[in-house]
Structure 1
Amino acid sequence: MKSGILAAVLLAVGLSAQQAPPRGRSITLGDLTAFDVADNVFTIAAGADRVRVMFYRDDIFRIWLGPDGAFTDAQPTPGDAQMVVFSGAPIAAAWRDAGEYYRIESRTCVLRVYKKPLRFALFDKDNAVAVWQETRPLTYGPSTVQTLRRADTENFYGGGMQNGYFSHRDTSVNIRLNTRGWGDGTTPNPAPFYMSTAGYGVFRNTMTPGKYDFLSPLALSHDEPRFDAYYFYGPSLKKILDGYTLVTGRPFFPPRWGLEFGDADCYNKKGRTPDVIAKVADVYRANDMPAGWILPNDGYGCLYVDLDTTVQELHKRGFYTGLWTEKGLERIAQEVSALGSRVMKLDVAWVGRGYQFAFNGMRDAYEGIEKNSHSRGFVWTTCAWGGGQRYATIWSGDQAGNWEYIRFHIPTVIGAGLSGFNAATGDVDGIFGGSAQTQVRDLQWKAFTPIWMIISGWSKQTNLMKQPWIFGEPYTTYNRKYLKLKMRLTPYIYSYTREAYDTGVPTVRAMVLEFPGDPATWSKRTQYQFMSGEWLLVAPVYEDSPIRNDIYLPAGKWIDYWDGREYNGPMTLNGYDAPLDKLPLFVKAGAIIPMYPEMLHDREKPKDPVTLDIYPFGGTTFSLYEDDGTTQEYRKGAFARTPIGVDAPTSIDAPGAVIAVTVGPAKGTYAGMPASRSYVVDAHVPAKPARVVIGDRALPSFAAADATRAARDKVRAEFDAAAEGWFFDGADRRGVLHVKTTAQPLAAGFTIRITM
């Protein structure tokens, strides 16, 4: 059929950009009756029905159904927050008639359009390996269903925040808002997106509820008569997430202080808003506990008084202030610009209807902060949808802290990350219930996620309070340990948070993201552990036990973070000793982990020295990302990246082995960027080296007189007081070499060589 004739037919049947009318019966597409291409848009006819195919990149294309030739939009109101932010025009794709099917191909994949009946199938670029195949044509009516063949070992992820789940083979997943009870199996933040180990992902461009049956065959439905889907060919899951978040928006990039511990409660019902200063902020500091932001009016009917002075006093103590809303955002401009609020939490009482209403609320809150200040938007919400990752942290709802709460939240957060939500969490130890033991265990593992907070005011079991000191010793000390470790890990986690903003790959990573070639990582087998960034394996304790079983270590060498013991994977570790103060935490060999000095909040002191905690093994790299930490200037290129590399043999025991640690010149600038700073390198090596040099200059060494603790403490004090030098502590985690430099220009870079 000629392009002009087909266009006339489409016009005659009423090509529309309005919402699709309801249909009372299901209709299945028939045989292909016409195939045409114009302006890089393929239009396929099956009787009166039409389907458009558009490639936007070689690995991203769209299939859009027009029942009776009428193409309708998912969001016809221009003022609504839009799920799709990608605005590129369709690109050219080669095509030809292959007999049984039409072949549309890009440089990375082939889309087959079968003729009798009209069905679609995606193949690799050689048209040899099936990625997905429809087993029957699209069906539309009261719901629209795509039915796909399931491969023998295929696994599936996504669907948004599915409480208690991340891997979905042999299950049915509700893509509809369900906050009843907020427990295991509910869906507080669904998203119409999934991806498969077969190498593809699908985003259904819709605001209507749906259901994805990952059975055999797959049945993927939404409650509307329209079908509009974007497909992403990886084949890697990371590449699929890149494509999905390119189309629906990258995860928002929080302020650096947003990674710090948050605290929420109401102080204006039985007191006054400024009470939060003495009752909470000062107590954090008196307990030597890091924390960075507070919501002082978190509660139904809890307004505020004297907010301006409260904000000022909290800021002096290192806290930013946020507000909670159950009604709307009518005053956000004044609250941000005049009073200084910098966080907004959207309660289910307001956004609980979900879908477009909640999506608009998320956008308005985020933009309300950014348009009325130079600060970055920092919003908390529930009831999000696909695309919501660009506006807010999502949280899992109002639950009681207990061991079951910890258990089901591990796969919950993992699964949210596999749906594009980098900032996803649940309240530490829940909003209700809780105990000393569950608070410690829950806080431990959430220290390795980007965003976290507690909510007080609701738990009778804890006298309405949830702060990390309320249970006294030894629990206060245990919690302080992980609060401080999270603060020191800021440059590590912040760099991966920036990577999430750039690529859609989350900081909290399912094992399958980092080890996609290992079948053990595909299913629920590893649902109670994750990678924090590329290098740290976190295995939370979710039972009332001092032992952690069933920790899976993939192929390679792993080091226990706490004592330096080495393990060689693949292996399953059982009987791991995990007393209450110890989180099972393992480091992948080759790791480079940048750390800032110990501090209580981001503005407390200069970020000098930077410690590089390294585990030499082969050649590895890390890109340290830094900016001003608060403003929107990063969007204009105001940031710096410092390349860090370690080059070492895979066996560093041999005399003469050389380990090279290179900190390259920082690329880029930002306000407040230091011209120089010192570094500490903590290299995990089994023996004292023969020599340590920086550039071509040997560094002075410090050595203990004997192996006693007193002698070790003395040499450590001498080392700390020196401007530069090195010493080896064989009793520290089975061997750690500590190296200190003088201030080094960020524009120049340097190399430290360690000769064993």
Structure 2
Amino acid sequence: MKFTNGFWRVRDGVHIAYAAEVRDVRIESKRFTAYAATQKVTRRGDTLNAPLLTVDCFSPAEGVIGVRVTHHAGRTRPGPEFDLAAGPGGAGTGEIRRDGTVTELTSGPLTLRLDRAAPWALTFHDADGRELTRAGRKGTAFATTDDGAHHVLAQLALGVGEQVYGLGERFTPFVKNGQTVDVWQADGGTSSEQAYKNIPFYLSSRGYGVFVNHPGRVSFEVGSESVGQVQFSVEDQTVEYHIVAGPSPKDVLTRYTALTGRPALPPAWSFGLWLTTSFTTDYDEPTVMSFVDGMAERGIPLSVFHFDCFWMREYQWCDFAWDPEVFPDPEGMLARLKARGLRVSAWINPYIAQKSPLFDEAAALGHLVRRPDGDVWQWDLWQAGMGLVDFTSPDARAWFRSKLKPLLEQGVDCFKTDFGERVPTDVVWHDGSDPQRMHNYYTHLYNRTVFELLEEERGAGEAVLFARSATAGGQQYPVHWGGDCWASFEAMAESLRGGLSLSLSGFGFWSHDIGGFEGTPDPAVFKRWLAFGLLSSHSRLHGSSSYRVPWEFGAEAVDVARRFTLLKHRLMPYLYGAASEAHHTGVPVMRPMVLEFPRDPACRPLDRQYMLGPDLLVAPVFGDDGQVEVYLPEGTWTHLLSGEQVTGPVWRTERHGYDSLPLYVREGAVLPLATDDQRPDGDWLDNPTLLVHPSATAEYTHEVSVPDLTGSPAARFRVRREGGLLRVTADGFDRPFTVRVAGGAHTDGTGEVTVPLR
């Protein structure tokens, strides 16, 4: 929200009070509270009839400093609150130091400094004493408006050239400078400023992050209202924000996800190719089996089959009952799919249509959200007369789970948890939550309810969703996909922007609808999207009104689907290692270039290429002519498919057929590859191949591991270059393995293998 009218004036109807000076500082063991007057106090009379802001400063975790600014503290806080690892507002760490008029709070490499003798300013410094950012002259304030609203706001300074990323899955420009961003869930597709996944967290190119600990609407002005500041405001009496230390972007994400939750590790089978019925297409069991048979006949391995909305009867979503006219034998059908080695996904959402028998049941039990007058909240947008399950009620959550459990018993393995954004604010929640704060948070309760059921019923490590909406902390319940996009190159590019933005918001796994959702893609769009989709963490063929089986788009599309599916399966030991890293550290599988190369200025704005794990650079092709621009940072890069070597830093314009794209391996990388290319969850320890891309350094050592299906290292290898020889030693692994040197020799063996370098 904008409060000012240019630099000098305030907007009509707005009244702002800025923190001006420190009147008192109270120190506790690991925190301090500052009291800020909103005007210069020159005599005792100035303390009358004037506000005083309470500013609490604390450290909830190592390398994180929280600031809570409060105007009036007496307002009740009905919730919800983000579930932070240290507890809301907890002071878990930090050291206080007072030196004359200066008070400092230090946590790990981060220090907050406040000088009582100077004009109001909170300054944040790194371990070297460099100022990262500050809440300066207008950085701490509250504002009232003539219509009775009360906002608390903060401004944090932007340095020269500083760039801002994140704030959720946003389809607007990747670098957020100059944008106004409202963190508010909306079902707006991928071609608007609205977003399904709104995260009040941003990451700075200067090596820190900012998390606004407020689950409701947070309005960000990113170098927009004030071009040298990031401003954020909430309609509340309090705003709390956390500065998260680096120094690297990876360090920031590691600390941020330690606070808000690390992503679960999805099962290996979920990394294979998913195929769906599409949305409004006609389908029944013969149609489904024709798709499954068609993929097998064409040599395209399929891992998951997904049933979209119309597996249930029309006007009855969700009653979780198979349409008996279309699927008269669901148990038998699911068993037949299982016999083909497939997992099964089913579409659900948190709405109960009035025609469904479950509507009356849920309403009578009090499991649907109600209006203030006690009526069940209903509307007709999506399903006629639908109500909304109240996930703030433990009984409602248990009831919802009880309706999903029979599907798991039938053979369903996972759920697509669609929707969760269209949440009303004119309602009363079971637990008394504030409707404004619950609007964004609802999706967290919805996805958690389903994910925890899958963990309980399928076991740890087997739970996976295909979720559309999320807020902070939602990364704990993967996987999330990019929502409704058009079947065009432009939508393909905006989908990637959204995914990269989400990855810098703490989400380790992300997917999208290969070929686009709305409309039918041109064969060129479909084939290019196939390569992109199968070089994403998760890969799903899905559409709205038309099928997405590859043969609908020609024989070449079949070849492309087969080529990249088999390639992904061979890459699985490498990809699952990156997935395990995301699970343990919060560093995502799909990484914007700035995350892997933060010191290279050329990487900071790049949003049409990414790193898949630490060592694979992917640049999707966004045109039917096959031409693509790609930037390769410093070092020697080897094209994984052609073997061509290129020395960076360099910009290249390349042209690729549909069976290729810029796919480069970083110098010094060792890629563990699977022998079995028919499934994503095969035996990766069955004669694995180590594809070595030697560093130019004459003497060096590199270690790499091959994970098992739990993500734990099952085989470790040490790669040593000794002049013209490459020695690879297995650590505790006595089975055969193969070493291939990019562009050179290969050797099979056990224990230790020596390969001559060219």
Would you say same fold, with TM above 0.5?
yes
Q: Does 1:221 align with 2:237?
A: no
Q: What pairs with 1:74-223 in structure 2 (closer than 5 Å)?
A: 76-77=79-80, 82-87=82-87, 89-99=91-101, 101-115=102-116, 116-141=118-143, 142-215=150-223, 216-223=228-235
Instruction: Tell me the secondary structure at the aligned position of residue 46 of structure 1.
Output: strand
Q: Among 599, 613, 616, which residue is 1:536 paired with? A: 616
Stretch of structure 1 that moved more, 511-520 or 335-344: 335-344
Q: Is the 8 A contact 1:189 1:394 kept in 2?
A: no
Match 2:661 to one of 574, 578, 583: 583
- The 2-side partners of 1:367 and 1:181 are apart by 28
Deviation at residue 495 of structure 1 after TM alignment: 0.6
Query: CA 1:606 to 1:275, structure 2 compared with 1: closer, same or farther past 3 Å?
Result: farther
RMSD: 2.7
The residue aligned with 2:41 is none
Distance 1:239 1:389 in 2: 17
Q: Taking structure 1 as reference, are residues 199 and 208 closer, same or farther at Cα in structure 2, changes over 3 Å only?
A: same
Q: Deviations over 1:224-281 (max 9, x none)?
A: 3321112211111000000110011012210001111112226999664x44652222
In structure 2, the CA distance between the partners of 1:584 and 1:677, relative to structure 1 (3 Å rule), is same
Query: 1:402 Cα deviation (Å)?
Result: 1.0
Partners of 1:55 and 1:133 in 2: how far apart? Answer: 17
Summarize the Cα distance change of 1:377–1:71 in structure 2 as closer, same or farther, 3 Å threshold: farther
Q: Deviations over 1:305-338 (max 9, x none)?
A: 5433333222221211111113454545523552
Structure 1 residue 59 corresponds to structure 2 residue 60: no
User: In structure 2, the residue corresponding to 1:590 is in which secondary structure?
Assistant: coil
Give matches, 1:428-507, under 5 Å.
428-433=514-519, 434-456=521-543, 458-459=544-545, 464-507=546-589
1:311 aligns with 2:334: yes
**Distance in 2 of aligned mates of 1:570 and 1:399:** 34
1:644 and 1:539 map into 2 onto residues whose CA distance is: 29
Looking at structure 1, the residues matched to 535 and 508 of structure 2 have their Cα atoms a distance apart, in angstroms, of 12
CA distance in 1, matches of 2:584, 2:273: 24
Question: 2:311 & 2:236 partners in 1: Cα distance?
Answer: 36
Give 1:181 shift: 4.1
Aligned to 1:645: 718
Q: How many angstroms apart in 1 are the aligned matches of 2:60 and 2:342? A: 44
Q: Which protein, 1 or 2, shows the higher relative CO under an 8 Å CA cutoff with sep ≥ 6?
A: 2
What's the % identity of the aligned pairs?
Answer: 23
Pick from 696, 707, 711: which aligns with 1:626? 707
Determine which of 582, 586, 592 is the counterpart of 1:510. 592
Tell me the residue number matched to 1:10.
none
- Counterpart-to-counterpart distance in 2, 1:76 and 1:404: 40
What secondary structure does 1:341 align onto? coil
Q: Specify the code of the residue in structure 2 equivalent to 1:140.
A: F
SS in 2 for 1:571: strand
Kindly tell me: are residues 168 and 662 of structure 1, through their superposed partners in 2, closer, same or farther at Cα, counting changes over 3 Å?
Answer: farther
Give the corresponding residue for 2:641.
Answer: 562
Confirm whether residue 679 of structure 1 aligns to residue 711 of structure 2: no
User: Is 1:348 matched with 2:419?
Assistant: yes
* Distance (whole Å) between structure 2 residues aligned to residue 281 and residue 268 of structure 1: 19
Matches within 5 A, 1:313-392: 313-327=336-350, 329-335=400-406, 337-348=408-419, 355-375=440-460, 376-392=462-478
Structure 1 residue 529, shift from structure 2 partner: 0.8
Q: Deviations over 1:192-245 (max 9, x none)?
A: 000111121111111112232221222222343321112211111000000110
Match of 2:499 among 400, 404, 413: 413
Please report how far the alpha carbon of residue 419 of structure 1 lies from its aligned counterpart in structure 2 after TM superposition. Answer: 0.8
2:297 is the alignment partner of 1:286: yes
Aligned residues of 2:637 and 2:665 also touching (Cα < 8 A): yes
- d(CA) in 2 for partners of 1:219, 1:267: 41
Q: Quick one: which amino acid aligns to residue 512 of structure 2?
A: G
CA distance in 1, matches of 2:611, 2:534: 13
Which residue of 22, 36, 39 corresponds with 1:46? Answer: 36
Query: Which ranges of structure 1 fall in alignment gaps of 5 or more residues?
Result: 1-22, 650-655, 667-675, 685-734
For normalisation by structure 1, the TM-score amounts to 0.79
* Structure 2 Cα separation of the partners of residues 126 and 565 of structure 1: 42
User: Would you say the 8 A contact 2:468–2:483 is kept in 1?
Assistant: yes
Q: Do residues 258 (structure 1) and 270 (structure 2) align?
A: yes
Query: Following TM superposition, by how much is the alpha carbon of 1:349 offset from its aligned partner in structure 2, in angstroms?
Result: 7.0
2:675 is matched with 597
SS at match of 1:318: coil
Instruction: Write the deviation string for residues 402-453 of structure 1: whole angstroms up to 9, x where unpaired.
Output: 1111222222221111111122222001122212111111110222221121
Post-superposition CA distance 1:647-700 (Å, at most 9, x none): 226xxxxxx71112233236xxxxxxxxx532122112xxxxxxxxxxxxxxxx
- What is the count of residue pairs matched by the alignment? 640
Aligned residue in 2 for 1:664: 731
Classify 1:326/1:755 alpha carbon distance in 2 versus 1 (closer, same or farther; 3 Å).
closer
Q: Is the CA contact 2:483–2:512 (under 8 Å) kept in the aligned structure 1?
A: yes
CA–CA separation in structure 2 for the residues paired with 1:92 and 1:122: 14
The answer to whether the aligner puts 1:35 opposite 2:25 as a matched pair is yes
- 1:682 partner SS: strand
Contact 1:194 1:419 in 2 (8 A): yes
- In the TM superposition, residue 486 of structure 1 has moved relative to its aligned partner by 0.8
Question: 1:547 — aligned with what?
Answer: 627
What TM-score, normalized by structure 2, do the two folds share?
0.79
Cα shift readout 1:575-626 (whole Å, capped 9, x = no counterpart)? x121222111111111211111233324566751211111111436354352
Which runs of 5 or more structure 2 residues have no equivalent in the other structure?
A: 1-12, 38-51, 144-149, 314-320, 352-399, 425-438
1:240 to 243, 252, 266: 252
Alignment partner, residue 718 of structure 1: none
Call closer, same or farther: CA 1:755–1:349 in 2, change over 3 Å: closer
CA distance in 2 between counterparts of 1:166 and 1:663 reads 42
Counterpart contact for 1:336–1:369, Cα < 8 Å:
no
CA offsets 1:118-149 (integer angstroms, 9 cap, x no match): 43110123435444443424123433221122
Distance 1:621 1:567 in 2: 22
Contact 2:170–2:501 (CA under 8 A) maintained in structure 1: yes
**Cα pair distance change 1:448/1:83, threshold 3 Å:** farther
Q: What does residue 713 of structure 1 align with? A: none
Query: C-alpha displacement at 1:372, in angstroms?
Result: 2.1
Cα distance, 1:174–1:351 mapped onto 2, change above 3 Å: closer
Secondary structure, counterpart of 1:95 in structure 2: strand
**Structure 1 residues 352 and 578: alpha-carbon distance in aligned structure 2, compared to 1, 3 A threshold:** farther
Alignment partners' CA distance in 2, 1:644 and 1:413: 33
CA shift in 2, pair 1:36/1:266, >3 Å: same
Alpha-carbon distance in structure 1 between the residues aligned to 2:486 and 2:422: 21
Q: Which moved more, 1:121-130 or 1:53-62?
A: 121-130
Structure 1's 128 and 682: CA in aligned 2 closer, same or farther, altered over 3 A?
closer
Q: Secondary structure at the match of 1:648?
A: strand
For 1:661, the aligned partner's letter is V
CA contact (8 A) 2:213 2:241 kept: yes
Distance (whole Å) between structure 2 residues aligned to residue 118 and residue 70 of structure 1: 24
Deviation at 1:160, TM superposition (A): 0.7
